[in-house]
Amino acid sequence: MGVISARAAADVVELRPEDTRWLRFVAGASEASAFHEPGWLAALTASYGYQSLVLALMAPGGEVIAGLPLSRIRRPLSGFAYVSLPFTDHCPPLARNEKALLLLAQGLERWRRSVGISAIEIRGPLPGTESLAADAVGYRHLLTLDGAARGLGALKPAVARHVRAARRAGVSVQFGRSWKDMQRFYRLHLLTRRRLGVPVQPLRFLRAVWRHMVEPGPGFLALACTSDGTPAAAALFLVHRQTLIYKYGASDTAHWELKPNHLLFWSVIERACEDGLTLLDFGKSDLDSAGLRRFKSSWGAEEVPLIYTHSGTPGAGLRGNRRLNGALRVVIGHSPLVVCRAVGELLYRYSA
């Protein structure tokens, strides 16, 4: 553990992700999320062998005062880039104060040029320098968890009606964190990703997420089943401090009329309140995902623009991703599940 290198041309140094100084800083940072913790980066590295580091600004005493984790990835249409972090909706830089954040932004650009990388993509805002470009990529939806204590009456009438309808139809919700639960989720996940025309995560990636983020707790899976026990909807949630994060969701269109997703989310909200959590982060919704945005907003969640920041070629990685995803959508949407899995094994890593 320790410094990998410190370059005279930069204000920042490279640390290993397991460096105790970085871990102490993350533990004390109020803005840190589950994606800043070592378990998430361990899952990414175990799945794809990414070269990862932490770019940190250090105080004279040797403590971290600002930083962000980065992984080096390759995209077939835009070459190599550093991303903070792959397969992560929101992972903003952390800083002790605004001055430290500004110094980090300045050092980041000098570091990029010194190592010869064409682009850095940060999954969050990093204001302060003209060399950084911001791109609105979607929305986050954040729900303060204070309504469950008031019961269904705290929900919008249409949402409460769907929850009651699911209960009358015999839908039930189970919670778990076993590998068997993950496999049940994955079967629904395959159907959902094919319907959306996007590469499905390889099973080994979800196994790594399960091993590092779910099995140890406090992440968990929620599964909504019909009255005969057939899985109808499922979701994977991560927990960090007092925040619940909706990471992945899946459902079977054959059972949508039973409103399983509404009962699933209401059951999860009730559980979160019982556990003392205060915020539900619904994760990313794309700019053109009007239906998904309506669903998340219907729970009373606040819609917040999701901003990514780029150093180097502005948005090159995102444009490459969009071209690749557009080409794959037609193929995946008209293929059997075995082909969808094969495409995910080959190409999902490039959609990071």
The pLDDT-based confidence of 316 (bands split at 50, 70, 90) is: very low
Using a pLDDT cut of 70, give the percent of the chain over it. 88
Domain co-membership, 270 together with 329: no
Domain co-membership, 346 together with 280: no
The pLDDT-based confidence of 302 (bands split at 50, 70, 90) is: very high
What are the tens digits of pLDDT across the range 48-105?
989 999 999 999 889 999 999 999 998 776 678 999 999 999 999 999 999 999 999 9
Domain of residue 95, CATH code:
3.40.630.30
- For residues 274 and 314, the model is more confident at 274
> Cα(344)–Cα(322) distance, rounded to whole angstroms?
16
Domain co-membership, 97 together with 171: no
pLDDT at residue number 158: 96
Domain tally, the chain: 2
pLDDT at residue number 348: 73
The pLDDT-based confidence of 352 (bands split at 50, 70, 90) is: confident
Nearest alpha-carbon partner for 234 in 294, 284, 176: 176
> Cα(243)–Cα(89) distance, rounded to whole angstroms?
15
Query: Taking a C-beta distance cutoff of 8 angstroms, is the pair 271, 290 a contact?
Result: no
The pLDDT-based confidence of 154 (bands split at 50, 70, 90) is: confident
φ, ψ (nearest 5 deg) of residue 172:
-130, 155
Domain co-membership, 239 together with 108: no
Domain co-membership, 162 together with 251: yes
Task: Please provide the size of the chain in residues.
Answer: 352
Domain co-membership, 160 together with 134: no
Domain co-membership, 321 together with 175: no
Domain co-membership, 246 together with 148: yes
Q: In the predicted model, what is the mean pLDDT of the chain?
A: 88
Domain co-membership, 257 together with 323: no
Which residues form the domain of 248? 140-304
Domain co-membership, 253 together with 313: no
Domain co-membership, 186 together with 268: yes
Domain co-membership, 104 together with 181: no
pLDDT at residue number 199: 81
Nearest alpha-carbon partner for 296 in 352, 235, 252, 348: 235
